[in-house]
Amino acid sequence: MSAMAPDALAKIRQRIDDIDEEVHRLLIERSAVIDELIHIKGTSAPGAAFRPDREAHMMRALVMRHEGILPLATVEHIWREVISTFTAMQAPFRILIGQSTDPAALQDLVRFQFGFSVPAEAAASDADALAALRRDGDLIAILSPHSPGRWWRDFDGEDLQIFARLPFIIAPNHPVQAEAYVAGPKLSVPPEADIRLWRMQATGAFEKTLSAFNARIVTREDDEILVEISGAISHAALCAEAAKRGATFSEPVELGSFAAPIHFVGQEEEQTEEDQV
């Protein structure tokens, strides 16, 4: 195959330039609504702009409309950068990264989700992260469910709340494989959420009961468990089922709630002309 004629390359580059210009102009246009958003939402308090349920809805729409050869994670990351920047433009916030058995992976997750326009730094410990969160209203903390700091023991969902679980799109080849919760001050508008995070004491053979309710044990230590469970399931229903198996669950402490993640299995192959013959 001969090299592409220079004018053909120039034409393609012109198309790319035109597209880039349009995307850039649209982003500038998107940012023009910020003042109005601040006015309508009354987002004067630091960190008060977060609307996790709206973000979840947008990410679902993004997954639904995506097509072609562009990796979904690329588009996801671009939008995460945009949404995070737009959140900070309404009300600035900072990120504290909690303890993890894999700090580099957790840092990657933070940058994938929040981009580079929001300051992020590692907390000395989970306890420090929570203390800072309780002190400064403009902070959110990224907390690992596998943290040696066991932050969940000092968290009762009263003054702080978990309002998102990361990553939101779970895919086998996703560039970021770490998982974490986003904790922050109580949001002024409680998010619509389908999964709650509970801390409970559980005894007996309780695992089957949780599986039957599609609940996910995130962390377990002795008889204390951290569980993600659908908002449609009551504690009473869980206990009634557990009783049949001689298991028990204590009254749960709800640490927060969030939108269910999207499990993305892969992009549908584009059908080429060769496939059809």
Binding site for ligand PRE (CB under 6 A): 37, 41, 49-51, 54-55, 83, 86-87, 90
Q: Which is nearer to ligand PRE, 87 or 99 (CB)?
A: 87
Q: Are 178 and 144 in contact (CB under 8 A)?
A: yes
- Minimum Å gap between C-beta 164 and ligand PRE is 10
Please say which residue, 86 or 213, places its beta carbon nearer to ligand PRE.
86
**Which residue stretches of the chain are H helix?**
6-31, 34-41, 52-65, 72-90, 103-114, 126-135, 207-212, 235-244, 273-276
129 closest CA partner among 108, 110, 116: 110
**Location of structure tokens 């679980």:** 165
Give the shortest CB-108-to-ligand PRE separation in angstroms. Answer: 21
Q: Which residue's CB is nearer to ligand PRE, number 87 or number 144?
A: 87
Whole-number Å distance between alpha carbons of 119 and 132? 15
Of 152 and 163, which CB lies nearer to ligand PRE in the complex structure?
163
> Packing angle between helix 103-114 and helix 72-90, nearest 10 degrees?
70
Q: Buried (b) or exposed (e) across 93-110, using 16+ Cβ within 10 A?
A: bbbbbbbbeeeebbbebb
169/276 Cα distance (integer angstroms): 32
Min separation Cβ 154 and ligand PRE, Å: 26
Give the integer Cα–Cα distance in Å for 109 and 175: 9
CB-nearer residue toward ligand PRE: 59 or 195? 59
Q: Which is nearer to ligand PRE, 72 or 164 (CB)?
A: 164
Q: Please, what is the end-to-end C-alpha distance for the chain in angstroms?
A: 24
Question: Could you tell me the smallest distance in angstroms from the CB atom of residue 172 to ligand PRE?
Answer: 27
In angstroms, what is the minimal distance from the CB of 168 to ligand PRE? 12
What is the rounded CA–CA span in Å between residue 266 and residue 90?
Answer: 34
CB of 89 to ligand PRE, least distance (A): 9
Q: Minimum distance from CB of 197 to ligand PRE (Å)?
A: 19
The residue among 37 and 75 lying less far from ligand PRE, judged by its C-beta, is: 37
* Residue nearest to ligand PRE as judged by C-beta position: 86
